[in-house]
Structure 1
Amino acid sequence: MLRPFHRFDVILILQEFRTSFLAINKGEEVASVGIIANPQSGKDIRRLVALASSFSNNEKVLMLRRVMAGLAAMGLDNILIFNDLGSLGAVAVDGFRHENKNSKAKLFEVDARGETIDSTNAARKLDELGVRCIIVLGGDGTCRAVAKGCGRIPMIPLSTGTNNAFPFSWEGTVAGMAAALYALYPKAYGSEKQVTKQLHVNLNGNSEKALVDIAILKESFYGARAIWDIGRVDSLALTRSEPGRLGLSSLGASLRPIGADEPLGLWLKLGPKSKTNHRVLSPIGPGQVASAQVMEHEIVKPGEAVKYRAPDDRVLAFDGERECLLNKGEDIEISLRLDGPSILNVPAILRKAAIRGDLQMRN
């Protein structure tokens, strides 16, 4: 027997409607996930000079659709995808909607120019929209660009770039599932969020940051943005040096391994061949094992800074890409801080979900 409809039911309904309405308009309390894919990742000159295949845009579209499938399977409906100039987001959303008629996945726009700053602006937009996490498809450079704009929103970085020391090779489907679980139950899965390390350097009053490495190159002009010639590296600062990773961080891994979760960094000074130097072999790219002479290396702790004076004109590269010029005699300080973007541990979230019973369905 149904109970009579009471006036307090009306009050509760109105209160719930008001709460939902305010949450939607403020961008709060509505579980949503943002996705940013870089159409240019995995296609720079390092792929041409190494024995590497490019990460095609078609594969990125399929990866996006797998991410969305994982999100939808966990009941996460509000999916916001960056409408990039390479049309990765547009093609992925169109295909996903074709298979999921009730999908609420939609594109969001920024003033895109086909440059790195597009990812930063997209992250800022997602921060304004109030998403609970951001899934990033790209390499170290893309993750750095997103970190500049995402604020405190945690990310799940998926590797599709050339240098992938920061992002992970997690499968898109499981990444989507983990992102949905965190977005739907942030308190339950908040413990699986980890703050990363960053390198800081002040240049002309502006603070620049790197997630993995800052390289000082023996050059007086930019040329190509990507670095592939180890002989041009003068010095190198690292937040991590994990064995098994490609890129400049492999130089440190061949000498003093440091994990991504260790509160330490590494400073390397390279030089000419000498009996007193450490000669290291490092896999700097697919099919590329380079020999380098390390004159000195030292551990850097959080809050510590390494001072450097340019003996001649130099170029600074952040996470594998040239960006800034240093004039002869110019002084800089590079410091390590524990203030990088937060990342979500996908396997740990799924493990906790199994223990909590969030992956179990009623028959």
Structure 2
Amino acid sequence: MSSARKEAARLVEGTTASAGTTSVAKAAPSAGAGTSAETRTGTGKGVYVGKVKITTRLRNGRYELTDPTRGGLSTVDFGNRDNREESSGKRFTDSDNVWGNGTVSSRQSAAVDAYFAAGKTWDYYKKAFGRKGMRGNGRGPSTIVHYGKGVAGAEHDNDLWFGDGKDDKNPLTELDIVAHEFTHGVTFSTAGFAGTSESNGLNEATCDIFGTMVEFNADIAADTPDYLIGEKVNLHGDGKPMRYMDKPSKDGRSPDHWKPGLDRLDDAHHAAGVANHFFYLLAEGSGKKVINGVAYDSPTYDGSKVTGIGREKAAKIWYKALTTQFTSATDYRNARTGTLKAAAALYGKTSSAYKTVQKAWTAVNVK
């Protein structure tokens, strides 16, 4: 197995295309980040983000979905092919710097979603943590859209890959999904979660957590910030989100709290439920509430009441733990210890933040 495939991570179960081991860097060679003189501001209309401004590059009289201000981040059309070794992606270019029409009738629309979302994810990590890019090396990833036919999935494999959904009408390019896949690049270069269902569950939860944080920080009207994962892509055809952070069991598969046998779950996205629930409780607290018009009702394992410390503090604690405490073998008990150490380092052992970390883990039965 190549190093590229070892770091591959899918967001969802679903129909997948055959996968080679080649990064899009081979399929669509980069022309470099570009210079400030080439930087332009265009407008795009995505399927999910609506009408937005985007930073593009003017090169040889054509505009490209390449961002010189974000490490050369770019978006590529894979042409609904599925062989990464034999097929070539095509960099999106345009004559007037106006991209997409908000529907899947334009191949540019999903590209706008992916490109805009990757840029917002870059901005979040840079502003919140001083991190430039997935690996902190100042390089932006390529986002590859229109991957395969009937592919209801998204994947990180050096770059970020997105299918168009089972019916090729619901691209997997929603903001929190793109940020989720971007974050797999962050976890790969930090904790490197691997091995057990709990460790892999923490990997997926980390990506859901920061996907959600990016959504809240982007704060766009077309995609209301919430604690629902992939609620717009209609993955299962029932109009429901993929996952719920306030009460993970609402998806019918994920546990709300830790229990014996969690390490035997066959899907890490379900094992992520415990950490997703912990983060929601830490940030927002337990019980009923309405946030941005979305109703939540978060239970606790022991019936206790948890008062949240806010999203920003909760995210700082999780990121601190991710980058200084978590390892490839971290399980839920280790995650409790790691986040407590992170909270102590950031806010002190006598702080309300530290005490709330304790309460939130106990509330999901991690002791």
Q: TM-score, normalised by structure 1?
A: 0.31
Structure with greater Cα Rg? 1
Q: TM-score, normalised by structure 2?
A: 0.30
Greater share of helix: 2
